[in-house]
A and B are shown apart, each in its own frame.
Chain A
Amino acid sequence: MKSIDSRRVLLPGFTGFIFLMLLSPLPAQAGAASESKEISWFFLFVGLLGGLSLFLYGMERMSDALKNVAGEKMKDILGMLSNNRFMGMITGAIVTAVIQSSSVTTVMLVGFVTAGLMSLSQTIGVIMGSNIGTTITAQIVAFKVTKYALLLVAIGFGMLFSSKKEKIQQYGYMIMGLGMIFFGMGVMSDAMKPLRAYQPFLDLMTQMSNPVLGILVAALFTALIQSSSATTGVIIVLAMQGLISLQAGIALSFGANIGTCVTALLASIGKPREALRVSIVHVLFNVVGVMIFLPFIGPFSRFVVSISPSPAEGLTSLQAAASVLPRQVANAHTIFNATCALVFLPSVTFFARIVYRLVPDKPLPEVEEIQPKYLSDMLLHTPSLALDAARHEIKRMGKRVDRMSTAMMPAVLTGNRESLQTLREMDEEVDVLYKHIVNYLADVSKLQLNEYQTQKMINLMGAVNDLEQIGDVIEVGLVDLGEKRVKKGFKISEATQKVINTVHVVVSDALKAAVRAVVEEDTDFAARVIAMKSDMNRLVAQANLHQAKRLVSEDSGKFEAYSVEVDIIEKLKRIYYYAKRMAKTVVETEEEKAAMEQAA
Chain B
Amino acid sequence: MAKKPDKTTLLVAVDFSPFSEEALFFASKLAEKLKAQLLVLHVIHDPAEAPGFYAQKGKKKKYLKSMEETAEEMMEEFLLNMRATYPDQVPIKKAKSLLVVGTPVTRIVEVAEKKQVEMIIIGSHGRTGLAHLLVGSKVQRVIQLSPVPVTVVKTPGK
Contact = CB atoms under 8 A, between A and B. Distances in A.
A83 B64 contact: no
Interface string A107-136: 000000001111111100100000000000
A561 to B, nearest CB: 34
Given A84-B51, A119-B48, A348-B51, A520 B63 contact: yes
Given A119-B53, A121-B48, A348-B51, 11 more contacts: A82-B52, A83-B56, A116-B44, A116-B66, A120-B46, A121-B46, A352-B48, A364-B107, A366-B2, A519-B63, A520-B63
Nearest to B46: A119
Nearest to B72: A399
Interface of A: 79-80, 82-85, 88, 115-122, 125, 348-349, 352-353, 356, 360-361, 363-364, 366, 392, 395, 519-522
A83 B51 contact: yes
Contacts of B67: 116-119
Interface centre among B51, B52, B66, B110 (most CB of A within 10 A): B51
B68 interface: yes
Interface in B17-53: 44-49, 51-53
Contacts of A117: 64-67
Interface stretch (B6-14, B75-83, B84-92, B98-106): B98-106
3 A-B pairs with least C-beta separation: A83-B52, A116-B66, A121-B48
Contacts of A395: 69
B62 interface: yes
Interface centre among A121, A352, A395 (most CB of B within 10 A): A121
Nearest to B45: A119
B51 A119 contact: yes
B55 interface: yes
Given A364-B110, A364-B111, A122 B62 contact: no
B114 interface: yes
Contact of A361 (B47, B52, B62, B103): B103
What's the interface size class on B, roughly? 20 to 34
A521 B103 contact: no
B104 to A, nearest CB: 11
Contacts of A88: 51
A356 B67 CA distance: 18
A336 to B, nearest CB: 26
Contact of A84 (B2, B52, B64): B52
Contacts of B103: 356, 360-361
A352 B45 CA distance: 12
Contacts of A83: 51-52, 55-56
Contact of B54 (A119, A125, A521): A119
A389 B59 CA distance: 19
B68 A116 contact: yes
Contacts of A125: 51
Contacts of B48: 119-121, 348-349, 352-353
24 contacts: A84-B51, A85-B51, A116-B66, A116-B101, A117-B66, A119-B45, A119-B46, A120-B48, A121-B51, A122-B51, A125-B51, A352-B46, A352-B48, A356-B103, A364-B107, A364-B111, A366-B1, A395-B69, A519-B63, A520-B61, A520-B63, A521-B62, A521-B63, A522-B62
A122 B52 CA distance: 7
Interface in B107-126: 107, 110-111, 114
B47 to A, nearest CB: 6
